[in-house]
Amino acid sequence: SGTGSEVTMVAVVSDTEKNVKMAFASNYLMPHAAILDPRMTQTLPPHLTAMTAMDAMTHAVEAYTCMAANPISDAYATAAIKKVSNSLFSVLDNTTDAHGRLELAQASTMAGIAFSNSMVGLVHSLGHALGAVAHLPHGLCMNLFLPYVLEYNKEVNGDKIAELLLPLAGPDIYAQTPAHLRADKAISTILTMRDRLYSLTKLPRTLSETGKVTEAQLDEVAEKALNDGSIIYNPKEASLEDLKSILKKAW
Ligand SMILES: [Fe+2]
In angstroms, what is the span from residue 215 Cα to ligand 1's centroid? Answer: 24
Q: What would the pLDDT profile of 77-136 be if each residue is shown by its tens digit? A: 999 999 999 999 999 999 999 999 999 999 999 999 999 999 999 999 999 999 999 999
**Residue 180 burial (CB count, 10 A):** 9
- What's the pLDDT at 16? 87
**pLDDT for 19 beyond 90:** no
Ligand 1 mean position to 147 CA, how many Å?
15
Task: Quote the ligand 1 centre to 229 CA distance (angstroms).
Answer: 13
Q: Please provide the size of the chain in residues.
A: 251
Q: What is the pLDDT of residue 10?
A: 86
The alpha carbon of 251 and the centre of ligand 1 are apart by a number of angstroms equal to 20
Return the percentage of the chain with pLDDT > 70, whole number: 100
* pLDDT tens profile 194-212: 999 999 999 999 999 999 9
Q: What element of type H or E holds 136?
A: none
3 CA distance to ligand 1 centroid (A)? 6
User: Ligand 1 centroid vs 139 CA: distance in angstroms?
Assistant: 7
| 49 CA from centroid of ligand 1 (Å) | 14
**Number of C-alpha atoms within 13 angstroms, CB side, residue 199?**
7
Q: Give me the pLDDT at residue 55, please.
A: 98
Q: At what angle do helices 240-249 and 122-134 cross, to 10 degrees?
A: 70
Q: In a 10 Å sphere around its CB, with 0-12 CB exposed, 13-18 middle and 19+ buried, how is residue 246 labelled?
A: buried
Domain boundaries in the chain? 10-249
Q: What is the mean pLDDT of the chain?
A: 96
**Residue 70, Cβ neighbours under 10 Å: how many?**
11
**Rounded distance from Cα 53 to ligand 1 centre (Å):** 10
CA count, 13 A, side-chain hemisphere, 188: 8
CB atoms within 10 A of CB 137: 17
Query: Tell me: the pLDDT tens digits for 25-53?
Result: 899 999 999 999 999 999 999 999 999 99
- As a CATH number, domain 10-249 is 1.20.1090.10
H-helix segments, the chain: 46-65, 71-93, 98-117, 122-134, 138-163, 165-169, 171-176, 182-201, 207-210, 218-226, 240-249
pLDDT at 251: 98
- In this prediction, residue 14 has a pLDDT band, given cuts at 50, 70 and 90, of confident
